[in-house]
Amino acid sequence: MSTVTLEDARRVIAAAEARAVEVGQPMNIAVVDVGGNLVAHVRQDGAWIGSVNISINKAWTSRAFDIETKALGENSQPTQQFYGIHATNGGKVAIFAGGVPLSRDGVVVGAVGVSGGSGEQDQTVAEAGAAAF
């Protein structure tokens, strides 16, 4: 089984951090492995303390459903097919932008989660992280 090593996670986080600096918004960045378990997390100085949990949950959610949290969110609005999913799994399911799967040979083997700014900011930072995987 392929997974995400600590070295992989650090490369992803470094790329995400660099993008956050460009965006000008300090971020929480978390990476989980194929089992959805945390490999590494950083909170940049000044980033929201309420986003520690959210960054980890976004990463977990992306791996748990092999999907970007942004896309899951679109399916989780009132009247949509997954409405209510955010209350499952002990509240660990994040349904807004910032969680992106990490894939190898077309298979999801982990994910990165970013929280600390607007949905658009979180998404671009997470994408930069994923691109470095």
Using alpha carbons, select from 113, 119, 129, 65 the residue that is nearest to residue 96. Answer: 119
Distances (CA, A) of 72 to 3, 20, 55, 77: 22, 23, 15, 9
Cα–Cα–Cα angle for 85, 119, 38, rounded to 5 degrees: 60
Subset of 33-92 contacting its own copies (CB under 8 A): 33-45, 48-54, 57, 60-61, 63-66, 73, 76-79, 81-91
22 binds its own copies (CB under 8 A): no
State the number of binding residues for its own copies (CB under 8 A): 57
103 binds its own copies (CB under 8 A): no
Which residue, 122 or 128, has its beta carbon nearer to its own copies? 122
Among 14, 71, 119, 132, binds its own copies (CB under 8 A): 119
